[in-house]
């Protein structure tokens, strides 16, 4: 089997809210797959459908070769889940929660448990409510990472972790991948996604808008160019892939789609280049572009209906 | 939602007042959240009082019939314990509203407790208060807002109830006194709820604690009313519910007794403020002790988890039920020494007992305690919903544990818990009754009388499970069913409801033991109904979305 998760045309509505609107997602066995999208775009909803907690309205969903709704309990033996909002029982200690969840899942690697507690610097004797937010998150992480499963489903697993713990988490996920485990990682932390994920899917308004390896996606980003030319430029403005062109005599400044970079540079050198600076493409830019498009679509299409997305909060 | 909030309150100048900053804002927020629920329950109580008054007036048209009805209550310890005394047998109002005096006051008190805890500890526990607390909101603001809300709604209730009773033709002064006796109980127990909310860390425990105080107050006055010869004994005078009765609406209208209730409320609320001043946000009185680093080997199934989560409350309830059983069991034997007039006999026959006053008393008390135990069953089954909304069920269901096993584990705890509680009632009640009457053989009869109540109790658990599975947003309907059955049983005879209507309540079908003949058929049917409700609820839960 080469695909751990395959979702196509997934639809889920809550009353009048269309949370998932024909979402597609393919996670190959053994990869770390990043799952990105603005707030309220449907990441957690997708994950809940994959866990059989929500019933899909339409679409095909396969998880580890089974049906997430019908075969929930047998599939759950083979996966571990870290929820986005970790809520612990007030009168159970963290250690008890880790053991309980491990046992309910069908076994826990006690050596790995001890190792993880040490690496995450987590005190297992505290009771639920006395943990800080980050430490609550660690309880769920240790419980998931210490179990022997094929698939890890992580919904914003590092929200609230300090940078040191973020590094520990990244080490752990890398180890998991080396052991051949599959990871679905929903995250808002782009650096984390860049350093961990083999492939990513970006969703917005319940639909997949981009999916591929990071280098494929990087190809979709733009490089910023500022150059001083020997003469006034010509033909740059109509060149495919050039955006936001500003010309000031022989000075030019523009963004260019990375896949057109080569031909645009040829055009510049044909005029003669005196100096040139370029800014490499960042994934962040790609995300922001998609996220902003989301806000624009939002304001146009939905009006106030999905107002919780208005705080997408990416200022530029 | 924030749009409906008023602009921030300007911070008062003096330090002393800073603790109250934001009270107005929080009060408006609470009113906004409660406006529908509060209107409904106020309306419900007003309708209950008015309709019960007019129905009784139709029933007791002559002075003679009124006096006869009053004497029947006053001469029967069981009814004295249940409702209290009719202080003026000639007064139409006093006779008409006897069933709603103490019992109505207790229900108003319960609503007040829930209101206060909901806006204090529950908010704090959910972390929402922290969100507000960071704004210009003082340390006492939520406590004050909750108390003001409960006091205000109680007073509105008093006024409307008074007006509606006047509308049915009862004297104005008595009508107002009656409304205020309810409001007094509401205000007193709002303060108790506020104090409990400071002491415990969880809203659930706070509600349980305050409700236990309420139950104790009711039992004290029951003992005081049932054991006094011509009047109530001092036991009725150490209970706020007793004070509410001693206002004696339509039978002297003793306004000054209301001061007891107000003074009690002020004292208890002062205690709550003193604690609020000293404790940390989110904390109770006791700091959390560290727990185990690893789980004990037994904590490895959903059932073990459900037991672990609920055992504290089961133990608390067990203690309460054991005490309740002891108190009622020991009163029961004294009850026998009271007179048996024709009217009392008449009343007893109506109660369904045949062998004597003691049996009728015991069977009535078992009915009351069954209602109390039903409350445990409902709140225990409602754990299913609170675990779900607190997002604690998702990690469990993401393991190989299926929905059925998880939900069934809490249902098992609810059913086993109610069984344990009724056993405790029977054993301790029977023991006290046997010891006091010198006939230990009576113990077995009392235990059986307690156990026959169980199928009805389970039906209420079943209703809660069904609502949880089929319409989780309405899970409070479990409580609604309990109140409806209670009212049906109490008020049905007054309204002369047809038998089919009375038959809706499971409690109608419970054999009136000890005394009446034991019949297994209704018990079998009730058990089957309870099982069907649970099964339907679990089946519905397997088909719906979680969250
Ligand atoms: N139980 C529910 N009832 C109604 N609407 C819901 C429910 N759960 C999710 N939604 C809606 O579905 C949409 C998707 O929510 P979801 O939680 O999946 O977003 P997300 O991508 O995980 O966002 P975030 O990044 O903030 O975690 C939102 O508009 C949300 O309001
Ligand atoms: Mg989410």
Q: Where are the domains of chain A?
A: 3-217, 222-279
**Atom 12 of ligand 1 has which residue's CA nearest to it?**
A19
**Atom 1 of ligand 1 has which residue's CA nearest to it?**
B547
Model confidence pLDDT, tens digit, residues B223-232: 888 887 777 7
> Which one of B284, B310, B344 terminates a domain?
B284
B395, B402, B545: residue with CB nearest A81? B395
Distance A125 CA to ligand 2 centre (A): 29
**Atom 7 of ligand 1 has which residue's CA nearest to it?**
A14
Q: What is the DSSP letter of B79?
A: H
Contact of B300 with chain A, judged by CB distance below 8 Å, is answered with yes
| Residue given tokens 């039978």 in the structure block | B251
B202, B294, B399: residue with CB nearest A104? B399
Q: Are B123 and B206 in contact (CB under 8 A)?
A: no
Query: In CATH, what is the architecture of A222-279?
Result: 2-Layer Sandwich (3.30)
Check whether B351 has a pLDDT greater than 70. no
Closest CA relative to residue B547, chosen from B368, B334, B320, B391: B391
Distance A41 CA to ligand 2 centre (A): 8
What CA–CA distance (Å, rounded) separates B350 from B344? 10
For residue B352, tell me if it sits in a domain. Answer: yes
For residue B154, tell me if it sits in a domain. Answer: yes
Check whether B3 has a pLDDT greater than 70. no
Kindly report the average pLDDT of chain B as a whole number.
Answer: 86
Q: What's the mean pLDDT in B43-71? A: 86
What CA–CA distance (Å, rounded) separates A305 from A303? 6
Q: To which H or E segment does residue B427 belong?
A: helix B403-437
Predicted pLDDT of residue A309: 41
| Same domain, residue pair B317 and B361 | yes
- Per-residue pLDDT band for A1 (boundaries 50, 70, 90) equals low
Contact of B277 with chain A, judged by CB distance below 8 Å, is answered with no
Distance B254 CA to ligand 1 centre (A): 58
Q: What's the mean pLDDT in A245-269? A: 87
Most confident of A245-249, B285-289, B434-438: A245-249
pTM equals: 0.76
For residue B388, tell me if it sits in a domain. Answer: yes
| Same domain, residue pair B266 and B307 | no
Check whether B27 has a pLDDT greater than 70. yes
| Same domain, residue pair B157 and B180 | yes
Predicted pLDDT of residue B397: 94
- Per-residue pLDDT band for B1 (boundaries 50, 70, 90) equals very low
| Same domain, residue pair B303 and B159 | no
- Per-residue pLDDT band for A297 (boundaries 50, 70, 90) equals low
Atom number, ligand 1, closest to the C-alpha of residue A84: 27
Strands A58-63 and A3-14: antiparallel
Q: Are B506 and B485 in contact (CB under 8 A)?
A: yes
- What's the burial of A233, exposed, middle or buried (CB within 10 Å: 0-12/13-18/19+)? buried
Counted domains in chain B: 2
Determine, for residues A124 and B399 on separate chains, whether the beta-carbon distance falls below 8 Å.
no
Which residue range is the domain that position B37 belongs to?
A: 20-284
Check whether B336 has a pLDDT greater than 70. no
Q: State how far residue B134 is from chain A, nearest Cα, in angstroms.
A: 17
Contact of A197 with chain B, judged by CB distance below 8 Å, is answered with no
| Residue given tokens 């109390």 in the structure block | B372
Structure tokens at B540: 């519905």
Check whether B198 has a pLDDT greater than 50. yes
Beta-bridge mates of residue A254: A225
| Residue given tokens 């069908």 in the structure block | A106
Question: Which among A19, A159, A209 is the best mutation to test ligand 1's pocket, defined by most ligand atoms within 8 Å of the CB?
Answer: A19
Q: What's the mean pLDDT in B24-45? A: 86
Predicted pLDDT of residue B340: 47
For residue B454, tell me if it sits in a domain. Answer: yes
Predicted pLDDT of residue A315: 36
Give the residue from A78, A100, A141 with the most B CB atoms within 10 Å of its CB, the best one to mutate: A100
Most confident of B70-84, B95-109, B312-326: B95-109
Check whether A280 has a pLDDT greater than 50. yes
Q: What's the mean pLDDT in B179-206? A: 93
Q: Which residue of B has its CA nearest to A104?
A: B399
Check whether A225 has a pLDDT greater than 50. yes
- Per-residue pLDDT band for B495 (boundaries 50, 70, 90) equals confident
Q: What's the mean pLDDT in B173-196? A: 96
| Same domain, residue pair B362 and B488 | yes
Determine, for residues A125 and B544 on separate chains, whether the beta-carbon distance falls below 8 Å.
no
| C-alpha torsion angle, residues B74, B80, B85, B89 (rounded to 10) | -30
Predicted pLDDT of residue B343: 59
Q: What is the DSSP letter of A247?
A: E
Strands A199-204 and A58-63: unpaired
Q: What's the mean pLDDT in B519-540? A: 95
| Same domain, residue pair B336 and B215 | no
- What's the burial of B112, exposed, middle or buried (CB within 10 Å: 0-12/13-18/19+)? buried
What CA–CA distance (Å, rounded) separates B501 from B294? 54
Sign for the CA dihedral angle at B212, B218, B222, B225 comes to positive
Predicted pLDDT of residue B524: 95
Q: To which H or E segment does residue B39 belong?
A: helix B23-59
> Residues of chain B with pLDDT > 70: what percent?
89
Closest CA relative to residue B364, chosen from B420, B429, B414, B319: B429
Most confident of A74-83, A234-243, B73-82, B523-532: B523-532
For residue B140, tell me if it sits in a domain. Answer: yes
Check whether B130 has a pLDDT greater than 80. no
What CA–CA distance (Å, rounded) separates A56 from A48? 10
Most confident of A283-292, B436-445, B467-476: B467-476
What CA–CA distance (Å, rounded) separates A185 from B231? 73
Q: What's the mean pLDDT in A158-179? A: 93
Q: Are A90 and A128 in contact (CB under 8 A)?
A: yes
> Which one of B284, B316, B344 terminates a domain?
B284
| Same domain, residue pair B232 and B274 | yes
Check whether B215 has a pLDDT greater than 60. yes
Q: Which residues line ligand 1 (CB under 6 A)?
A: A 14, 17, 19, 37, 39-45, 84, 306, 308; B 547
Q: Which residues, in sequence order, are CB contacts of B31 under 8 Å at separation 6+?
A: B38, B149
| Same domain, residue pair B510 and B416 | yes
Sign for the CA dihedral angle at A130, A133, A136, A138 comes to negative
Most confident of A92-106, B205-219, B255-269, B424-438: B255-269
| Residue given tokens 């922001």 in the structure block | A288
Cis peptide leading into B514, omega within 30 of 0?
A: yes
Residue ranges of the alpha helices (H) in chain A? 43-50, 72-76, 94-105, 110-119, 133-145, 163-178, 190-196, 214-218, 261-271, 283-297
| Same domain, residue pair B218 and B324 | no
The dihedrals phi and psi of A58, each to the nearest 5 degrees, come to -160, 165
Predicted pLDDT of residue B2: 39
| Same domain, residue pair B168 and B194 | yes
CATH superfamily membership of A3-217: P-loop containing nucleotide triphosphate hydrolases (3.40.50.300)
> Which one of B227, B249, B284 terminates a domain?
B284
B288, B295, B394: residue with CB nearest A129? B288
| Same domain, residue pair B253 and B303 | no
Q: Are B461 and B383 in contact (CB under 8 A)?
A: no
Residues in B touching A103 (Cβ below 8 Å) = 295, 299-301
Q: What's the mean pLDDT in A272-285? A: 81
Distance A307 CA to ligand 2 centre (A): 15
Predicted pLDDT of residue B512: 81
* CB atoms closer than 10 angstroms to residue A210: 18
Distance B471 CA to ligand 1 centre (A): 20
> Around ion ligand 2, which residues have CB less than 5 A away?
A 44, 84
What CA–CA distance (Å, rounded) separates A62 from A28? 12
Model confidence pLDDT, tens digit, residues A46-78: 999 999 999 999 999 999 999 999 988 889 989
Check whether B4 has a pLDDT greater than 50. no
Check whether B352 has a pLDDT greater than 50. no
* CB atoms closer than 10 angstroms to residue A174: 14
CA–chain centroid gap for A42, Å, is 12
Predicted pLDDT of residue B288: 63
Q: Which residues, in sequence order, are CB contacts of B324 under 8 Å at separation 6+?
A: B215, B219, B369, B372, B425, B429
Question: Which among A43, A193, A298 is the best mutation to test ligand 1's pocket, defined by most ligand atoms within 8 Å of the CB?
Answer: A43
Contact of B397 with chain A, judged by CB distance below 8 Å, is answered with yes
Q: Which ligand minimizes its atom distance to the CA of A45?
A: 1
Q: Are A48 and A198 in contact (CB under 8 A)?
A: no
In 3-state terms, what secondary structure has residue B21?
Answer: coil
For residue B293, tell me if it sits in a domain. Answer: no
Q: What's the mean pLDDT in B32-40? A: 85
What CA–CA distance (Å, rounded) separates A37 from B256? 66
Model confidence pLDDT, tens digit, residues B397-417: 999 999 999 999 999 999 999
For residue B377, tell me if it sits in a domain. Answer: yes
Atom number, ligand 1, closest to the C-alpha of residue A48: 18
Q: Which of A38-52, A83-97, B345-359, B506-520 has the lowest mean pLDDT?
A: B345-359
| C-alpha torsion angle, residues B331, B332, B336, B338 (rounded to 10) | 40
> Residues of chain A with pLDDT > 70: what percent?
92
Predicted pLDDT of residue B13: 43
């Amino acid at each position: 089997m080469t695909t751990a998760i395959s979702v196509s045309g997934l639809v889920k509505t809550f009353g009048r809210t269309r949370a998932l609107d024909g979402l597609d997602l393919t996670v190959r066995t053994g990869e770390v797959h990043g799952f990105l999208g603005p707030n309220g775009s449907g990441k957690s909803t997708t994950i809940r459908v994959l866990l059989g907690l929500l019933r899909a309205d339409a679409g095909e969903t396969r998880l580890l070769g089974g049906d997430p709704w019908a075969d929930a309990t047998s599939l759950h033996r083979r996966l571990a889940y870290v929820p986005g909002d970790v809520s612990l029982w007030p009168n159970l200690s963290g250690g008890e929660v880790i053991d309980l969840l491990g046992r309910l899942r069908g076994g826990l690697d006690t050596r790995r448990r001890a190792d993880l507690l040490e690496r995450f610097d987590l005190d297992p004797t505290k009771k639920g409510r006395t943990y800080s937010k980050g430490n609550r998150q660690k309880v769920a992480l240790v419980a998931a990472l210490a179990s022997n499963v094929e698939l890890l489903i992580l919904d914003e697993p590092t929200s609230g972790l300090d940078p040191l713990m973020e590094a520990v988490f990244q080490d752990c996920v890398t180890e998991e991948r080396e052991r051949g485990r599959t990871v679905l990682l929903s995250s808002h932390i782009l650096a984390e996604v860049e350093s961990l994920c083999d492939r990513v899917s970006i969703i917005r308004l319940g639909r997949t808008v981009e999916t591929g390896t990071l280098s494929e996606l990087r190809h979709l980003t733009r490089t910023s160019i500022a150059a001083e030319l020997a003469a006034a430029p010509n033909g740059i403005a109509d060149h495919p892939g050039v955006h936001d062109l500003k010309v000031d005599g022989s000075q030019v400044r523009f963004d260019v789609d990375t896949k057109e970079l080569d031909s645009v540079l040829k055009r510049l050198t044909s005029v003669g280049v005196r100096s040139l600076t370029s800014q490499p493409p960042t994934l962040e830019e790609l995300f922001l572009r998609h996220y902003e498009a989301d806000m624009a679509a939002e304001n146009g299409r939905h009006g106030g209906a999905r107002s919780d997305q208005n705080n997408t909060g990416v200022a530029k | 939602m924030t749009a409906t909030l008023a602009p921030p309150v300007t911070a008062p100048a003096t330090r002393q007042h800073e603790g109250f900053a934001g009270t107005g804002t929080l009060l408006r927020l609470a009113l906004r959240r409660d406006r529908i629920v509060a209107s409904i329950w106020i309306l419900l109580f007003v309708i209950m009082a008015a309709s019960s008054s007019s129905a009784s007036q139709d029933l007791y048209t002559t002075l003679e019939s009124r006096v006869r009805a009053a004497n029947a209550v006053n001469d029967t310890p069981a009814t004295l314990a249940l409702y209290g005394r009719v202080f003026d047998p000639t007064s139409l109002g006093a006779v008409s509203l006897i069933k709603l005096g103490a019992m109505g006051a207790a229900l108003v008190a319960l609503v007040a407790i829930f209101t206060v805890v909901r806006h204090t500890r529950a908010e704090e526990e959910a972390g929402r208060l922290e969100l507000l607390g960071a704004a210009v909101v003082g340390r006492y603001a939520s406590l004050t807002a909750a108390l003001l809300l409960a006091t205000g709604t109680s007073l509105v209730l008093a006024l409307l109830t008074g007006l509606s009773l006047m509308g049915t033709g009862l004297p104005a002064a008595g009508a107002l006194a009656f409304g205020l006796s309810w409001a007094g109980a509401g205000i007193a127990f709002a303060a108790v709820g506020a104090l409990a909310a400071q002491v415990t860390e969880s809203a659930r425990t706070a509600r349980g604690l305050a409700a236990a105080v309420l139950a104790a107050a009711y039992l004290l006055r029951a003992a005081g009313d049932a054991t006094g010869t011509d009047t109530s004994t001092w036991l009725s005078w150490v209970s706020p519910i007793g004070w509410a009765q001693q206002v004696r609406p339509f039978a002297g209208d003793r306004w000054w007794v209301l001061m007891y209730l107000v003074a009690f409320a002020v004292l208890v609320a002062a205690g709550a403020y003193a604690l609020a001043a000293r404790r940390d946000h989110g904390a109770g009185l006791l700091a959390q002790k560290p727990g185990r680093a690893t789980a004990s080997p037994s904590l490895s199934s959903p059932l073990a988890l459900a037991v672990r989560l609920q055992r504290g409350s089961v133990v608390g309830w067990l203690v309460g039920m054991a005490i309740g059983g002891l108190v009622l069991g020991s009163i029961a034997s004294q009850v026998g020494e009271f007179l048996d007039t024709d009217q009392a006999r008449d009343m007893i026959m109506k109660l369904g007992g045949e062998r004597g006053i003691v049996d009728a008393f015991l069977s009535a008390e078992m009915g009351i305690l069954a209602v109390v135990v039903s409350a445990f069953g409902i709140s225990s089954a409602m754990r299913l919903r609170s675990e779900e909304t607190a997002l604690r069920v998702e990690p469990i269901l993401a393991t190989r544990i299926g929905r059925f096993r998880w939900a069934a584990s809490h249902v098992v705890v609810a059913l086993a818990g109610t069984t344990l509680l009724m056993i405790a009632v029977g054993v301790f009640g029977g023991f006290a009754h046997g010891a006091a009457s010198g006939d230990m053989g009576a113990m077995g009869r009392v235990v059986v009388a307690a156990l026959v109540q169980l199928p009805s109790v389970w039906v209420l658990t079943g209703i809660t499970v069904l609502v949880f599975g089929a319409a989780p947003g309405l899970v409070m309907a479990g409580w609604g069913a309990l109140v409806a059955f209670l009212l049906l049983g109490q008020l049905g005879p007054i309204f002369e409801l047809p038998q089919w209507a009375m038959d809706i309540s499971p409690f109608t079908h419970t054999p009136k033991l000890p005394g009446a003949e034991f019949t297994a058929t209704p018990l079998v049917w009730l058990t089957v109904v309870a099982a069907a409700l649970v099964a339907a609820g679990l089946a519905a839960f397997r088909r719906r979305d979680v969250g």
